[in-house]
Structure formats: structure tokens, C-alpha cells
Amino acid sequence: MLGDTAGWRALAYLAAAFPLALISAAASVGFLASGLGGLTHWVWSRWLPLQAAGDGSLHRGLSLGGLFFDTVAGQLSLAAVGVVLLFVWPWVNHGFADVFRLLVGELLGLTPGARRLRDLEVSRGRSVEDADARLRRIERDLHDGTQARLVAVAMQLGEARELLGSGVAANGRGDSSGPSGPDGSGGPAGLTGESVAGGEAPRPTAVANARALVELAHAAVKGTAVELREIVRNIHPPVLDDGLEVALESLASRVPLPVRVHVELRVRPSPAIETMLYFCAAELLTNVVKHGGATHATVTLEPHGRGLRLRVQDDGTGGAQVWSPDETGRRSGLVGLAERVRPVDGRLELHSPAGGPTVATVTLPGPVA
């Protein structure tokens, strides 16, 4: 109890505030009363009893060291003093208020350490949001630029490939309704020195080689497009723009076991929190599929205090661990998950007794909006 800094500071505040309150009240009332009194002295002094001055003359009203103010000049000067006092009165009040503010700020407000902590929290939250916004921008740029160009190139190569005559048969599916090329042969791609078509084309070898090259380029571009799409999905899944519920449902539909999704949100979380929760759910579901031996899983997202709680539950065999480095010594995905939520003070709890079921809970204390 003696170490209770806040308590001692509050006590010091009380000790200082009480006398200060008395003094400020007296001063404020004093200034107001004297100001009004001085200003109106010429009116009310006439009803005061007569007093004798040192020289025997009789006067009414205020006297200061034997000097009376019942002359015209005297009354005017008293009124002037009254005006000055009334003018100064608000400043007196402001002055005392400032002293009080200082007292409250120093003794009841945040200590420098606490203030620094609050600033750090604010700037940390801002950098989490900034990072998320930057990733979204990258995703948008890739989508509008690189991916679109890649598809356009793939389309041109695809057309070139068909014009050169390999048709779609080489692709192994669909019926060939495309135009047959100069020679119509659908042989496997490969750089050969042999003649492919009948002697009409001037340089059949060159055509065959060109076709093989186009074939390779076409396959490479298609592969690249698939890779790029996966990369983009890992940067920022576009479906998140439609809200967390849609995104989680879409996520659940890619998991090779039945997943029930239940989402209850009072307010839409900030984009960064949405991204964070999405990737947490993705990681936890991956884990369910990888280790759990589960046949069903449930994803629940609901309010928890000022924050949110994400829970992924499965009916697998249990025994999951947060810290389980694989044979290459790399950290497990769950460690990464715990790190992912740390910038917002999130916590991962894993309850996975041998024999199951496994319940993984991610709690974000909030606020999350």
C-alpha cells in the first residue's frame, strides 16, 4: 500500500487543493465585492452615518487614513478603482483555475511514463494500420497492372500457339474447335530439327522450333499467373474487401472438410484487424487439416469485452502444440500466428489434450474498430 504511487499522488492533491480552494474562494469574492462596492460608493455612501474627521468636519462613507472620499473627485476615483477591480476579477479567477489545472495535471494525470506508453500504443496501432494499407495498395497495383498484363500476354501467346498449329489437343482437354494451323499436327512440344509439315512452308524446322518456343513460353506464363495469384492471395485476399464474414466463409469453402462459420460482429473491425483475423483463421484451419485427423471444424468469431474472440474448434485427435518446430527446425505456423496478433496485444490459447478435441482461441482485447 505504501508503494501505491497513484494513492500518494491523490493524497498530495487533496492536501494542496483544500487550502488553495479556500484562498481562491475568498479572493474571488473579495475582488467582486470590492469592485461593485467601489463603483457604487457614491450612491450608497449617503445613507451611512456621519463621521467626524480629524479637523472636526463631518463626512459620510469610506475613509482611508483619515481621508474621506465624499468629494466629487473622491467619488470618481473610488468608482474608477471599482471598475479596475471588476475588470481584473475574471483574470483572478482564471489564474486560480490555472493553478488548479496544474495541480490536477501533475498529481492526478498521467505520469510521464504512462503518457509515453499511451503515445506508443497509439503510434503502434497506426503503424499496424499503415502496414495493412500498404499491402492493400500493393495488391491493387499487382491486380491492375502485373496480373492484367500477364493475362494479356498469355492470351496472345495462346493465340500464337494456335496459329502455329498445335491446337488445343496438346493441352489434353476439350474438343478442338479452334482453327487448324498451317500443318494441323498436334505433336508434343520439343525442339527438333526434323521437318514437321509437308513441304509447303519454306522453313518447316524454323516453324516447328518457333512453335515449341511459343508452347514453352505459353506454359511458363500460365504457371507464372497461377503463382502470382497465390502470392497476391497471401498479401491481401481480395475477398476481404467484402467483409470478414464473406471472407471467412470463402476461406472455409476451400478447406477439404466441412467447416461451420459463425460470425457475430457489433461493429465492422478496422481493415488491419480484419486481415489479422482472416490469416489467423486460415492458419488455424490449415493446422486442423494438417494434424488434427478431424472430420468437422467450427469457426466462431464473436465480441469479447471491448475486443473480439476467434475460436477454431475441431473434432480431431488433439495433441497440438504452439511450439512445435518441424524437422528443419523452423518455427510452427502457430508461433507465427501468436506473433501476428501481438502488435494489438492479442493472445493465442491452445487447448488440445491428447485424444482431442482441439480448441484454439485468439483473443484481441480491443478496441478493434
Which stretches of the chain bind other proteins, using CB under 8 A? 140, 143-144, 147-149, 151-152, 154-159, 162, 167-168, 171, 173-178, 218, 221-222, 225-226, 229, 232-233, 237-239, 241-242, 246, 249-250, 252-259, 296
Per DSSP (E only), the strands in the chain are: 51-52, 58-59, 63-64, 67-68, 259-263, 297-304, 307-314, 347-351, 358-364
Amino acid at 272: A
CB of 275 to other proteins, least distance (A): 15
Nearer to other proteins, 233 or 262 (CB): 233
Alpha-carbon distance values, 22 to 28, 96, 108, 209, 334 (Å)? 10, 11, 20, 101, 62
CB of 146 to other proteins, least distance (A): 10
Nearer to other proteins, 177 or 328 (CB): 177
3-state secondary structure 213-255: HHHHHHHHHHHHHHHHHHHHHHHCCHHHHHCHHHHHHHHHHCC
Output the nine-digit C-alpha cell for 110: 498521467
Nearer to other proteins, 5 or 177 (CB): 177
CB of 95 to other proteins, least distance (A): 56
CB of 196 to other proteins, least distance (A): 20
Nearer to other proteins, 126 or 290 (CB): 290
Output the nine-digit C-alpha cell for 65: 487614513
Output the nine-digit C-alpha cell for 233: 492471395
Query: What are the percentages of helix, strand and coil residues in the chain, rounded to 5?
Result: 60, 10, 30
Name residues whose C-beta falls within 8 Å of residue 135's C-beta, 6 or more positions apart in sequence. Answer: 235, 236, 275
Nearer to other proteins, 121 or 144 (CB): 144
CB of 285 to other proteins, least distance (A): 11
Nearer to other proteins, 187 or 307 (CB): 187
| Strand pairing category for 58-59 and 51-52 | antiparallel
CB of 300 to other proteins, least distance (A): 18
